[in-house]
Amino acid sequence: MTKFHPAPEQLSEFAQGALASVESLMISAHCDMCARCQQVVAQQTVLQAEHALMDTQDDPATKTHDFQDDSKLDSMLESITQLPRATPSKTSRSGSRKIIELDGRVFTIPRTLRKYVPFMGNWSSLVGKLWQAPVDVGVSGVANFIYIGQGGSIPEHTHRGTEYTLVINGEFSDGLNHYRKGDFIKMNESDIHAPYSDDISGCLIFSILDQPLHFTAGIARLLNPFSHLFFRY
């Protein structure tokens, strides 16, 4: 079961539409896999709606209720009712794909991320049992699908910016915690971890990173000058 969720304030701000694109994207994808957070967002949306559309009378900031406003709204009403009914159209979603493959394994991708599957590059093999495929999400920072095969690991590293990670399939541990499908992980400068997977079917994660990784231990420190390899454009 999913154990790691966005903070309640994050969910509330997500429902308000107040978060940046990257964070919103990752929370939305988490909610696709997490009934609990889906419900929290739904409740928050009801509350936010009530708050946003409540009584307008007592609010001095917007109490400029004059006849000019009324006439603007009247003409707006008039022009809207001239509009035709919307013709049902296929949404941009038509270009989306549900499934990605790696070496004969098939993974189902959460709804929010399906749109980006066509913008996924080829898988490349990194050290050990690690595979990475870049995804052009069109946001600042870099997004990747990363697959850790059974027994595979990523050298211990810290983060120079913020790294959002979502477990799509399987399980992994990082010396701090054990993560399962659906888990949402936000890491920054103060977090050091070394992910590895013992899962028999490995672990597929989706991660967005806004700065290169910084390797902290052993021989992997030598990778630091090359950490852009983990951070491809």
What residue ranges bind other proteins (CB under 8 A)? Answer: 14, 16-17, 21-22, 24-25, 28, 45-46, 48-50, 52-57, 59, 61-62, 65, 69, 72-73, 76-77, 79-81, 83-86, 88-94, 96, 98, 103-106, 112, 115-116, 137-140
Q: Let me know: does 220 contact 155? Beta carbons within 8 Å.
A: yes
- The DSSP call for residue 108 is E
Q: Minimal distance in Å, beta carbon 121 to other proteins?
A: 15
Q: Let me know: does 98 contact 19? Beta carbons within 8 Å.
A: no
Alpha carbon distance 48, 217 (integer Å): 46
Q: Minimal distance in Å, beta carbon 178 to other proteins?
A: 24
Please say which residue, 151 or 175, places its beta carbon nearer to other proteins: 151
* 28 φ, ψ (degrees, to nearest 5): -60, -45
Q: Minimal distance in Å, beta carbon 210 to other proteins?
A: 13
Please say which residue, 20 or 127, places its beta carbon nearer to other proteins: 20
Q: Minimal distance in Å, beta carbon 156 to other proteins?
A: 28
Please say which residue, 139 or 176, places its beta carbon nearer to other proteins: 139
- If you write DSSP's letter for every residue of 132-166 in order, what string do you get? EEEE--SSSSEEEEEEE-TT-B---EEESS-EEEE
